[in-house]
Amino acid sequence: MLPAEQYERALEGCRAAAAAGWEILHAGGSALDAVEAAVRVLEDDPAFNAGRGSVLNAAGQVEMDAGIMDGHTGQAGAVTLIKHVRHPITLARYVMAHTPHLILGAEGAEALAPKAGCALVENDFFITPYRLKQYHRKAVSTAGDTVGAVALDAQGHLAAANSTGGVSFKYPGRIGDSPILGAGYMADSHMAAAATGQGEHIIRAGLAFLLRDLIASGFSAPQAASRATTLFLQRVPQGQAGWILLDAQGRVGIAHTTRHLPHAWRTGGEEDFVVGLRATETK
C-alpha cells in the first residue's frame, strides 16, 4: 500500500520513467529498449520498491527480482534473489539474450553482472533511511509495490518488464511474481502486461496469462483490464494487485484491487502525457 506521503514522489517517478521510455520510442527505438529504460529509472528512484529503495526482508537485507519479455520474438528473461546488482532489469535482459535459461537466481545470476555491464554494489546501497525506519518499526507491507513498464514501438512490437524488492519481512529466499512469466509479466504480438501487488496472489491467479487470454478473446486493453478485476477476485478472494496492459492498437488498460496504483503513459506529444494514482481506462 502506497503511503500518502509518497504520492507526489511516486507520480513524479512514474512521469520520469514514461518520459525515458518515450524518448527511445520517439527516436525509433524498440519497445524492449523502452521498457528496460523506464524500469531502470524506477530502480534508481528510492520512492519505489525496486532497486534502491527496496523493502527489507526478515534478515534486514534487500533481495530483488526482475523480468522482461520481447513480444516480437517471444523471448523472456528473469532474475531472482539479487542482492548486489544495481539494475536487476538489465541483468534479466542479459539472461534473456545471452543464456539458454529463462530464470537465473542469486550468485549464479550475479556472476553474469560484469558481462551484462551491470554495476555491482554492496547490499547497503539499496537500503534507504525510509526503508530502514520501516523495518525497525516492523511496518509490514502487504502489497509488493512492484514497478513495471509496457511499450509499443513504431514497428508494432510490444514488450513488458518489471522489477521489485518483494514484500517487507519476507523469508530470505522468497520469490514473488515478478520473475514468473505469465504471472507478473507477459508480452506477445497482441498485448503486453505487468503486474504489481502481493506476489503470491498474482501467481495463484496467473494474472498476466489471464490478461493475455482476455485480449485473445477479443477484448481491448481497457476492457480486458476491467474484466480481469472480477476474474482475479474470483480466483483469489480479497487479492491485492494492480496491472497495466497495452494492446497492439496502442490502447491502455489499468486496473487494481489496491487503493492506489500510480501510473503514467505517453502516446504522442506532451499533451498526451497521462499521470495518475487511480485506475484509468482509455477508449
| Of 80, 90, 146, 196, catalytic | 146
pLDDT at 271: 66
- For the question of residue 146 being annotated catalytic, the response is yes
User: In the prediction, which pLDDT does 28 show?
Assistant: 96
pLDDT in tens, 2-40: 566 677 888 999 999 999 999 999 999 999 999 999 999
Instruction: Characterise 219 by phi-psi region: left (phi > 0), alpha (psi -120 to 50), beta (else).
Output: beta
pLDDT by position in tens, the chain (length 283): 556 667 788 899 999 999 999 999 999 999 999 999 999 999 999 999 999 999 999 999 999 999 999 999 999 999 999 999 999 999 999 999 999 999 999 999 999 999 999 999 999 999 999 999 989 887 655 445 789 999 999 999 999 999 999 999 999 999 999 999 999 999 999 999 999 999 999 999 999 999 999 999 999 999 999 999 999 999 999 999 999 999 999 999 999 998 888 999 988 766 677 888 754 444 3
Q: For the chain, what is the radius of gyration of the CA atoms?
A: 17
Q: Which domains does the chain have, with CATH numbers?
A: 4-276 (3.60.20.30)
**What is the reported pLDDT for 2?**
59
The model's pTM is 0.93
- Integer angstrom CA distances of residue 92 from 126, 133, 258: 18, 30, 27
pLDDT given for residue 282 in this prediction: 40
For residue 278, the model assigns a pLDDT of 59
Cα distance from N-terminal residue to C-terminal residue, the chain: 28
Q: In whole angstroms, how far apart are CA 36 and each of 40, 62, 72, 102, 212?
A: 6, 21, 15, 17, 21
DSSP state at residue 4: G
- Reported for 257-263, long-range contacts at CB under 8 A and 24+ positions apart, including other chains, are 257/197, 257/229, 257/232, 257/233, 258/1, 258/143, 258/197, 259/1, 259/2, 260/1, 260/2, 260/7, 261/196, 262/2, 262/7, 262/10, 262/11, 262/13, 262/14, 263/14
Predicted confidence at residue 142, as pLDDT, reads 45
- Give the pLDDT score at 270: 65
Please report, for residues 27, 63, 197, 247, 257, the alpha-carbon distance to residue 220 in angstroms, rounded to integers and kept in the order given: 27, 36, 23, 7, 20
* Cβ–Cβ under 8 Å, residues 87 and 119: yes
Continuous H helices in the chain: 7-26, 31-43, 88-98, 106-110, 113-116, 129-136, 199-205, 207-216, 221-235
Residue 170 corresponds to which cell in the numbers above? 519476507
Q: Grid cell 531472482 — which residue?
A: 80
